[in-house]
Amino acid sequence: MELYLVRHAEAVSEQEDPRCPLSDRGREAVSRMAGFIRGLNINVKVIKHSQKLRAEQTARELARAVTSADGLQATEGLTPNDDVRPMKTLLEDAQENVMIVGHLPYLSRLVSCLLDAGREQKTVAFGACCVVRMDYNEASGEWGIRWVLTPDIVKS
């Protein structure tokens, strides 16, 4: 199984707009990332995203570049400080590829949990619009990081 973890792209400040939509720079970064990953032929069952606007906007843009049987799904339990253990259980029982678009520190804690690293162990530096691919080996029951993409290395 392939798991794609995505931190939302840069958003405007809460003072600028309480809904915190993507900034111009954030929209440009996610558009660039979508253009790049289109060539990777990513196929997932569903793209789960938090209910926050910036995550939804990031997920919508990436959905244009990814094949997804069930499309987008606003999902509870993906906010910054939610418990990652329910998602770990869900993912390890899943049979099909999944993309999750969310926030820090949730995504960092999820990666650490999947890798059985300590809660405070920072395993991936999730910058804005960072995409991490992890693979699950059913035979060994272990997760591994396959690759990490950041907007800095993905040029249009």
Please write the tens of the pLDDT for every residue from 13-39: 999 999 999 999 999 999 999 999 999
Q: pLDDT tens-digit profile of 55-91?
A: 999 999 999 999 999 999 999 999 999 999 999 999 9
pLDDT of 48 > 70? The answer is yes
33 Cβ neighbours under 8 A, 6+ residues apart: 9, 62, 129, 131, 149, 151, 154
Structure token pair of residue 48: 């789960």
- Fill in the amino acid letter for 152: D
Q: In order of start, what are the domains of the chain with their CATH numbers? A: 2-149 (3.40.50.1240)
102 Cβ neighbours under 8 A, 6+ residues apart: 5, 6, 7, 8, 49, 50, 55, 78, 79
* Summary mean pLDDT of the chain: 94
The alpha-helical segments, DSSP class H, found in the chain are 24-38, 53-63, 85-93, 106-114
Q: Model-level pTM greater than 0.75?
A: yes
For residue 117, give the H/E element and its range.
none
Rg (CA), the chain: 15
